[in-house]
Chain A
C-alpha cells in the first residue's frame, strides 16, 4: 500500500504540496520506524531531533505529506510531536509557532481567557 502511493506521488508532477525535502524525511521513516519500533527512548530522541531541525512550517508539510501518502504511523508520529511541542505552552507562543493570528473581537478573547482561567495554570514561561 505504502509503495503504491509513493510511486503515484513521483509520477504526479502537479503536486505542489510535497517538496523533495519532505520526501527525504518521510520515505526513510518506514525503515526507521521498523528498526526502532521497540525502543521508545530512540523514538523520543528522534522526535527531539526532528523538532530542532525542522521548522513548524515543515512540520505542517510533513503532516500533509504523511496524510497524502496515507501513511498512518507517520501521521500519528508527526501529530503527536506537534502536540507534545505545544502542550505546555502559552496561547501567544503557539500562535507564533504556527504563524497564526487571533481573529477574535477585542473583548471576546479576554472573556474566553477568563472563562478558562483554570486551564492556564502550569504553563511554561515563554
Chain B
C-alpha cells in the first residue's frame, strides 16, 4: 500500500486547510515551500479571506467594524512620538511595528499626517515638509515618496498671500506630483490659515477635510476631481456650544462634528452630521444625537468617534483618554499619558482613527494606482 504524504493533497484540498488559518499564520506559511507561497499569494486567496472575515463578523457581531486603533499625537509645544491604542484583542492585528520603528532613524519623532485603507502617511517634520513616507504599520512595509516640487514652510496649509490654493497630488500611477492652481471661494477671509489641523478627515466619498477651529471653517478638497475642487464648509452653529471645541471625525464614512455643550442640568455631547448628500453640498448640518456626559472641572474634550458605532466616543480628560459608551453611559479609561508627555495645559492632542484591513494593504509600489494629496497654500 502506497504511503500517503501531505504532498498528495491537491491544491484545492490544501487550500481548504490554508483558508481556515488566521491572518498571521497565513502569511508566515508562505515560507514553508514554493507551493504554499504560491497558493497564498494569489489574489483570490486574499479575496476569499476577506469575504470569510466579513461573514464571520456579520454573524458574531452585527455592528462590528474591522479592528481599529486610535493613534494619538501630542503636537504642541513639541511633537511627541505617536501613541497608539488598539481596540482589538485578536493577536493577529497586533504588531510591534505600531511604534513606527521600521522607518529610517530620525532624531525627531515621526509626524502622523493621515491614514486610509490601513496605510499611514507620515513625515519627519511639521514645517518645511518634504520627506513623506507611506507605510503599513501592521506589516512594517514602507515606501519613501519622491520629493514634492515645492517645499514651503507650512504644508497642508500655507501662509496667506492670496485666495489661491496650489494643490499638489501625488499619484503612484505615474510616480509624479501633479500641480493644480485652485480657486477656493472665501479662503482669503479665513482668519488664520496656519491653524488648519494638519491631518485630514476622509469622509463622504473620500473627500478630505481640514478643520480650522479659530475661524469655524472646514476646508474640503476632492482629490478625485480633475480640477482639484476645494470649498469651505462652516462648522455647525450650535447655540449651546458656541465657544466650545468642535471635534471633526468620521463614522460609517460620514463626517461627524462633536461638541460638548452645557445644557441646563448637565453636559451633553451634541453630534452633528449631514443627513443627505444635498445637505453635505449645501453645508446644512443636522443635530442627530445628544449623549450625556459627566460634568468635569478638568479639561474635557471629544477627540474621536468610533468608526462604525456612533454611540462610542473617545474623550481627552485631563491626562487620560476615556471611552464613553453612549448605550450604557459608562466610561472606561483606555490610555494614560505619562507625566512628561504634556508640555503645558495648552498641549494639542490629535487622535486619528486607524482602521486595519482584514488583509493588509500593500504599500504603493510606485507605478500602481493609489492617490495621495499634498496641499500647499500660498
A residues contacting B by CB (< 8 A) are 16-17, 19, 56-57, 60-61, 63-64, 67, 75-76, 79-80, 82-84, 86-89, 91, 94-95, 98-104, 109, 112-113, 115-123
Contacts and interface: CB of A to CB of B under 8 A. Distances in A.
Given A63-B13, A83-B21, A112 B8 contact: no
A80 B20 contact: yes
B298 interface: no
* Closest CB pairs A-B (n = 8): A83-B20, A98-B6, A119-B27, A119-B28, A119-B24, A79-B16, A87-B25, A112-B31
Nearest to A86: B25
Contact of A56 (B6, B91, B139): B6
Given A100-B32, A100-B33, A87 B5 contact: no
B17 A60 contact: no
Question: Interface centre among B26, B28, B30, B91, by most A CB within 10 Å?
Answer: B28
Contacts of B330: none
B153 to A, nearest CB: 36
B9 interface: yes
B37 interface: yes
Nearest to B3: A57
Interface residues of B, number: 39
B243 to A, nearest CB: 45
Contacts of A56: 6
Nearest to B91: A122
Contact of A61 (B4, B91, B139): B4
B13 A91 contact: no
19 contacts: A16-B2, A60-B6, A75-B16, A79-B16, A95-B33, A102-B32, A104-B33, A113-B31, A115-B141, A116-B27, A117-B140, A118-B96, A118-B97, A119-B23, A120-B24, A120-B28, A121-B94, A121-B95, A122-B94
A16 B1 CA distance: 7
A119 B8 CA distance: 27
Contact of B7 (A94, A100, A102, A109): A100
A13 to B, nearest CB: 13
B95 A83 contact: no
B29 interface: yes
B134 interface: no
B150 to A, nearest CB: 35
B161 interface: no
Interface in B201-252: none
Contacts of A63: 9, 13, 16-17
A80 B20 CA distance: 6
Given A118-B138, A122-B24, A60 B8 contact: yes
A117 B25 CA distance: 11
Contacts of A118: 24, 27, 95-97, 138-140
B34 A103 contact: yes
Contacts of B91: 121-122
B22 interface: yes
B24 A91 contact: no
Contact of A91 (B4, B16, B18, B32): B32
A84 B22 CA distance: 9
A19 B29 CA distance: 30
A60 B7 CA distance: 9
A91 B28 CA distance: 7
Contacts of B139: 116, 118
Contacts of B7: 100
A121 B17 contact: no
B102 to A, nearest CB: 9
With most chain B CB atoms within 10 A of its CB, the pick from A17, A80, A121 is A121
A64 to B, nearest CB: 7
Contacts of B30: 112, 116
Interface in B18-73: 18, 20-35, 37
A123 B91 CA distance: 11
Contacts of B22: 87
A107 B124 CA distance: 33
Interface string B103-132: 000000000000000000000000000000
Interface string B319-333: 000000000000000
